[in-house]
Amino acid sequence: MTAQSIETVATEATVPAHGAEITVPLNRLKASPKNARKTPHSPATIEAFAASIKAKGVLQPPVVEIERDGEGEPTGNYLVTIGEGRRQGLRLLVRRKAIKRTHPVRVIVDAENDAHEISLDENITREAMHPADQFEAFQRLAEEKGYGSEEIGARFGVSAQVVRQRLRLGSAAPELMAAYREGALALDQLMAFCVSEDRDRQRQVFEQIGPHTPAYAIRRAMTEAKVRADDRRVRFVGVEAYAEAGGGVLRDLFTEDGGGWLEDVILLDRLVAEKLAGLADEAREREGWKWAEAAQDYPDVSAFGRVYPVAVERSEADAAEIAALSEEYDGIVSEAGDDGLSSEADARLEEIDKALQAFGPDFAYAPEARARAGVMVMLGHDGLARFERGLVRAEDVPADPPSPWPEDEAADDGADSGAQAGADAPEGETPSTLSDRLLIDLTAHKTMGLRDAVQADVGAALATVVHALALQVFYPAYGVWTPLQLRLTTTGLERLAPGVDDGPAGRRVSDRCEALGARLPERPENLWGVVAALPPSEQLDLMACCAGVGLYAVRDPHDRRPGALAQAETLATAVGLDMAGTWTATAASYFTRVSKARVLEAVTEAVNPDEAGRIAGFKKADMAEAAERLLEGKGWLPVPLRTVSDAAEPEDQGADEPRDDDAYSFAAE
Per cent of the chain over pLDDT 70 is 85
Does residue 126 or residue 609 have the better pLDDT?
A: 609
Categorize the per-residue pLDDT at 90 as very low, low, confident or very high, splitting at 50, 70 and 90: very high
Categorize the per-residue pLDDT at 539 as very low, low, confident or very high, splitting at 50, 70 and 90: very high
Domain residue ranges of the chain, discontinuous segments joined by +: 3-124, 326-359
pTM, to two decimals: 0.53
User: Can you give the pLDDT at residue 646?
Assistant: 39
Mean pLDDT of 468-484: 83
Residues in a beta bridge with 310: 364
Mind listing the pLDDT tens digit for each residue in 385-401?
Answer: 989 888 888 788 765 55
pLDDT at 454 over 70: yes
Categorize the per-residue pLDDT at 219 as very low, low, confident or very high, splitting at 50, 70 and 90: confident
Pick the CATH number of 3-124 from 3.40.50.720, 3.40.50.11540, 3.30.70.260, 3.90.1530.10: 3.90.1530.10
Q: Rounded mean pLDDT of the chain? A: 81
- Any idea which of 28-37, 178-187, 423-432 has the lowest mean pLDDT? 423-432
User: Can you give the pLDDT at residue 337?
Assistant: 67
Categorize the per-residue pLDDT at 428 as very low, low, confident or very high, splitting at 50, 70 and 90: low
Distance, CA of 669 to CA of 648 (rounded, Å)? 10
DSSP 639: G
Spatial strand order of the sheet with 249-251 comes to 227-228, 260-262, 249-251
The number of beta carbons lying within 10 Å of the beta carbon of residue 138 is 26
User: Can you give the pLDDT at residue 145?
Assistant: 81
Does residue 656 or residue 619 have the better pLDDT?
A: 619
Helix axes 174-182, 131-140, angle to 10 degrees: 150
- Per 3-state DSSP, the chain is made up of helix, strand and coil in percentages (nearest 5) of 55, 10, 40
DSSP 282: H
User: Can you give the pLDDT at residue 402?
Assistant: 56
Give SS3 for 171: coil
Mean pLDDT of 418-444: 62
Q: End-to-end CA distance of the chain, in Å?
A: 119
